[in-house]
Structure 1
Amino acid sequence: MEQVRELGAAEAHPEEGTIRAARAALTREIARGGGRMKDPVRARRRRWTGIGIGGLVAGAAATAIVIGSVLTPPAPPSASAAEVLNETADVTIHAVDTTLKPGQYLKIEAVSKTVGYWNTAAAEDGDPNTVPSHAYRGNGDAALQIQEMETVYVPADRAADWLYVYGPKSIVARFGPRGAEVEQEVRNSPEAYGLGQDMVGRVWVMPGGVTGTQSTDPSRGGATTDGSGPAPGTVFYLDSYRPHYAEMPRDPAALLDWLRRPSGMTGNAADAWVLSSLEDPDTVNLMPADLRAAFFRAIALIPGLRVENRDGDLVTLSHYEEGNDRPRSIVIDTAQGYIAELAETQGTKSGVAGDIPDRVKKVTTTVVDALPDSVKLPEK
């Protein structure tokens, strides 16, 4: 990945600062390039998405809910998910939009909580190639929940420099009989697991919101030889749908078909793929208002989407993927027409983490008139 500059550091490392934001874009671009993700759930299970993945997460996560573990009794739903989404679409057209006055910025504050699983038995199998942290809910005997905070400043002119400010990362919970052992190992070598504090406060500049370009070098994630990956030179954006705004239908049914098509699947599996592709709320929140409204009306057509909880303007919707006994949840801010939170758990709710979701992301978006003194643009 290229085109990311760091302020206040002698040497920039774009890959370290961009991998997580590019992941969502990469998933969609792979599919659009012709590849079919026939089993996205199992594909994601093979990747440990907790400790050790540094990163750019622009629209992320955690309200006081979460899948299957609401802290207060859920309010009885007074409307269907379709009604909530269609009402939100109506609000979106007239709500606070992402169009700014010159000099203003959208300030996107993100909090994410991710559970990383550890198979400690694998560390004792005598095989030097075994990586114990490459575990998942089904085989992990220990787990850590990591909280990460980031802030992104999006300029009024989207072609100008976007700024990403690293926040602190910390262990907030441990699970399993060997959780304390794993936590101590990580605390003894925080840099090795992406928990070093040296990045806190550093600022990365993303010209035009670009997080990177597709390399031709296979050792750096270059395009695949069978054409299933993104073409060399493909540009990835933090608002990853931006290159497709013009082609995305504004008719809800047509837009849903457009969103489903890259999966190569149908029915519940295709709908689950659409929802899982929303790695970060800002993939939707940074859309133009008319497209954002169409998106809400499109997902209102997904069968099985239901209202789980209502807390003032925040409404929690859930959707079950076949073979997964935990729903994927989306929290909609019905007053502003934004996605406020995403949460999901892969596979069964059993395992050392119990009812704690694998990933929860919460984003707060406000308009600021200027950058704070601690964040400065580079001299031209």
Structure 2
Amino acid sequence: MPEPTKSETLDRVLDAALARAGAEPVRFDVAAGRIALAAALADRTSGRPRRRTRWLAAAAAVTVLTGAGLAASTVDLTGGGNAATAAEELTRAADLASRVVERPVGPGQFRYVRSRYEGITTGAGPGEATHTDLTQEEWVPADRRDEWLFRNEINSVRWLEGHEGQGQPQAGTSFEDGQEFRGRCGRYPYFAEGQPDRCTAGSFGNPTPEFVAALPEDPAALLDELRKAGGTGDAGALVEAGEALGSGEYPARVRATIFRALALLPGLVVTEKRANLDGKEGVALGLKHFDDFTEMIIDPDNGDYIGRRETVAVDLPHDQGGLEKGTVRSSSAVTTKVVSSLGAR
């Protein structure tokens, strides 16, 4: 048997770690975990798709979904679409975002981020898949060094039709229903020893003031930073931008620059003009990313980023869940506002 490649070895390590995380009550933070994995993922040179076993939702930014649940998508997965139209939509969104009059988070106030997420988990067994619907809330203080609050609510868990397994299906998150965590700098009790807190480890998904201030104002330069952070070219840049916009923490001027940066992506296309997300209609723009077609969805009326969607781009083999091309693997949306106290809505 030939020796596994570096990429295959990394895949096996990640698969084992994710499977173990799904089986044991491990608590962790996705944003910080991304930092730890970034260097390893950047070294991947093979085009071999990831095996995705579980989506493990964590605080602040992941989130809701197509109102009808995760069913067949109308997305064009053939590579069709109009790149010029995608650039026009993003430029328009940037123009609208740049005119937003923002309400700052004042002393003693909190940015409240409510997220809802619906997704499919595969990997419990060959051909098995579960469907989870959850809501997450986070309160981020004006002074990030103060106490943060995170709550998790599991709305429903079920076997995906046609992919049933034995016993009770497990939720696609390591957090339990009703769990609540508090911690200064967003350092919750489940953080591993030595893991940086969220005042320290700035990233697109965890925008500390210092990180935001250091971002380039030139769209082309910002696109380069998104590509570097994503680690997988243009599609990685789109995913990274979704992490950023989904956090709900960027000022309007930076959101506008992110939109202008994405307008420079040569392969980005409009995939759907009436994508429905949590009761809102928007324009979906996307790129193929590993096994999926990854899209961001923008409200054409005000330029708001209203969520993200991942659709299976190719029929998956039985040992990877057996999901058919066109299946919406996950869908998310986020809403934010400023509140006057911890826990207020």
TM-score (norm 1): 0.65
How many Å apart are 1:39 and its aligned residue? 4.7
Q: 2:153: which partner in 1? A: 167
Mapped pair 1:185 → 2:194: no
* 1:81 Cα deviation from its structure 2 partner: 1.2
Query: 2:298 aligned with 1:332, yes or no?
Result: yes
Counterpart AA for 1:259: L
| Structure with max Cα Rg | 1
In the alignment, the residues of structure 2 paired with residue 278 and residue 16 of structure 1 have an alpha-carbon distance, to the nearest angstrom, of: 28
Offset at 1:320?
A: 2.6
For these two proteins, the number of residue pairs brought into alignment is 301
Q: Which residue of 1 aligns with 2:266?
A: 303
Does 2:189 correspond to 1:208?
no
The root-mean-square deviation of aligned C-alpha atoms, in Å, is 4.0
1:114 is aligned to 2:114: no
Q: Secondary structure at 1:91's aligned position in 2? A: helix
1:239-262 residue CA offsets vs partner (Å, 9 max, x unmatched): 424353233211001111122235
Decide whether aligned partners of structure 1 residues 274 and 63 sit closer, same or farther in structure 2, where only a CA change above 3 A counts.
same
The yes-or-no answer on 1:348 pairing with 2:314 is: yes
Q: Does the 8 A contact of 2:118 with 2:331 survive in 1?
A: yes
Instruction: Provide Cα deviations, 1:318-341, integer angstroms capped at 9, x if missing partner.
Output: 2234x75x5211112345544221
After superposition, where does 1:1-380 map in structure 2 within 5 Å?
16-28=26-38, 30=39, 35-39=42-46, 42=49, 44-45=50-51, 47-50=52-55, 53=56, 55-64=58-67, 69-70=73-74, 80-95=85-100, 97=102, 99-118=104-123, 133=124, 140-176=126-162, 179-180=163-164, 182=165, 184-187=166-169, 199-210=176-187, 215=193, 235=201, 239-242=205-208, 243-262=210-229, 269-278=232-241, 280=243, 282=245, 285-311=248-274, 314-321=282-289, 324=291, 326-335=292-301, 337-345=303-311, 348-350=314-316, 352-354=322-324, 355-372=326-343
CA distance in 2, matches of 1:210, 1:158: 10
Question: 1:278 and 1:238 mapped to 2: Cα distance?
Answer: 7
Runs (5+) with no aligned partner, structure 2: 1-24, 76-80, 275-279
The DSSP-based 3-state class of the residue aligned with 2:143 is coil
Sequence identity percentage: 25
Q: Distance in 1 between matches of 2:107 and 2:47?
A: 41
Measured against aligned partners, the alpha-carbon deviations of 1:287-307 in whole angstroms (never above 9, x if no partner) come to 233222111100110012122
8 Å contact kept, 2:26–2:174: no
Q: Given the superposition, is the C-alpha separation of residues 98 and 200 from structure 1 closer, same or farther in structure 2, using an over 3 Å criterion? A: farther
State the shift of 1:215 in Å.
5.0
How many Å separate the matches in 2 of 1:297 and 1:284? 18
Per-residue deviation, 1:271? 0.3
TM score, norm. by length of structure 2: 0.70
Aligned to 1:7: none
Contact 1:108 1:152 in 2 (8 A): yes
Please give the secondary structure, in 1, of the residue aligned with 2:223: helix
Hey, what's the Cα distance between the residues in 2 that align with 1:336 and 1:160? 33
Q: Which runs of 5 or more residues in structure 1 are unaligned?
A: 1-14, 119-132, 217-221, 223-229, 376-380
